[in-house]
Amino acid sequence: MSEQAEQNTSGQAEAPIEKDQLQAYFERIGYQAKWSATLDCFRTIHRLHPQCIPFENLNPFLRIPVRLGKDDLVKKLIHDQRGGYCFEHNLLFGQVLKSLGFRVKGLAARILWNAPVGAITPRGHMLLLVEAEEQTYLADVGFGGLTLTSPLLLQPDLEQETPHELFRLIMDRDQYVLQVSIKEVWKSVYSFSLEEQFQPDYEVTNWYLSNHPDSHFVTGLIAARSAPGVRYALRNSQLSVHYVEGPTEKRVLESAGEIKRVLQDTFQIRLPKEDELGNAFERIILP
In tens digits, the chain (287 residues) has pLDDT values of 333 334 443 334 467 899 999 999 999 999 999 999 999 999 999 999 999 999 999 999 999 999 999 999 999 999 999 999 999 999 999 999 999 999 999 999 999 998 888 888 999 999 999 999 999 999 999 999 999 999 999 999 999 999 999 999 999 999 999 999 998 999 999 999 999 999 999 999 999 999 999 999 999 999 999 999 999 999 999 999 999 988 999 999 999 999 999 999 999 999 998 777 888 999 888 65
Annotated active-site positions, please?
86, 125, 140
Reported as a single tens digit per residue, the pLDDT across 196-213 is 999 999 999 999 999 999
Where do the domains of the chain lie? 216-283
Determine whether domain 216-283 maps to CATH 3.30.2140.10: yes
Q: Rounded distance, CA 253 to CA 234, Å?
A: 10
What is the residue type of 154?
L
